[in-house]
Amino acid sequence: MLLYFRGCTAREKLTSISKATERILKAAKINYETLEDEQCCGSVLLRTGFVDDAIEQMNGNLKDFEGKTIVTSCSGCYKTLKEDYKKYLGVDLKVIHISQLLEQLIKENKINLKGNKDLKVTYHDSCHLGRHAGEYEAPRNVIQSISNLVEMENNKENARCCGSGGGVKSAYG
């Protein structure tokens, strides 16, 4: 079973992200579930130095993840679920980012995204998905399938940090 893990930002602050992700999953006829009482993955706690609290939070989530493939639209959740649960709990979760799923669906002709090739679009590599998890190509491939990708001067490994993953957006946004 596929579990769509929305994450704190998409669940609470930028609900348009979770709504759009769910529309895409439904359009692709993907059976998925969400957690009625979804809790934080622990990312912000880890990044702000509350490691023991993060580990407690992560342990509390494990029962919800058992036997599921997790897809998330949050880069911080992706990095935490994929790498930090293994590092701190020894648990190897099956996690994919929505950009990776979209890339796969496009390649398999299971979804047809409408776009405008005349439209110039740029992409900011998040620290968590890019530098930390090493995923640079999936988001670019999805964008290139629907528009004209124009790279920023500082991209991929050299992208500038926006501060969100370290809690700046949560505290001040």
What pLDDT is recorded for position 145? Answer: 84
What is the span of the domain harbouring residue 112?
A: 2-172
DSSP assignment string, the chain: -EEEE-HHIIIII-HHHHHHHHHHHHHTT--EE--TT----SHHHHHTT-HHHHHHHHHHHHHHHTT-EEEES-HHHHHIIIIIHHHHH----EEEEHHHHHHHHHHTTS------TTSEE--PPPIIIIIIT---HHHHHHHHHHSEE---SS-GGGPPP-SGGGTHHHHH-
Over residues 107-156, the pLDDT tens digits come to 998 888 777 778 888 777 776 676 777 777 888 787 788 877 777 787 67
Task: Report which of residues 78 and 164 the model is more confident about.
Answer: 78
What pLDDT is recorded for position 165? Answer: 58
List, in order, residues 6 or more apart from 60 with CB less than 8 Å away. 39
Paired tokens of 147: 């528009």
**At residue 166, does pLDDT exceed 70?**
no
Contact 39, 7 (CB under 8 A): no
Over residues 17-55, the pLDDT tens digits come to 899 999 999 999 999 999 999 999 999 899 889 999 999
**Single-letter residue type at 71:** V
**At residue 162, does pLDDT exceed 80?**
no
Question: What's the structural domain count of the chain?
Answer: 1
What pLDDT is recorded for position 111? Answer: 83
| Range in 51-65, 75-89, 143-157 the model is least confident about | 143-157
Task: Report which of residues 38 and 158 the model is more confident about.
Answer: 38
What pLDDT is recorded for position 170? Answer: 56
Cα 79 to the chain's mean position, in Å? Answer: 8
Q: Full-prediction pTM beyond 0.75?
A: yes
Contact 17, 10 (CB under 8 A): yes
Paired tokens of 124: 């900011």
The residues facing 53 across adjacent strands are none
How buried is residue 41: exposed, middle or buried, by Cβ count under 10 Å (0-12/13-18/19+)?
buried
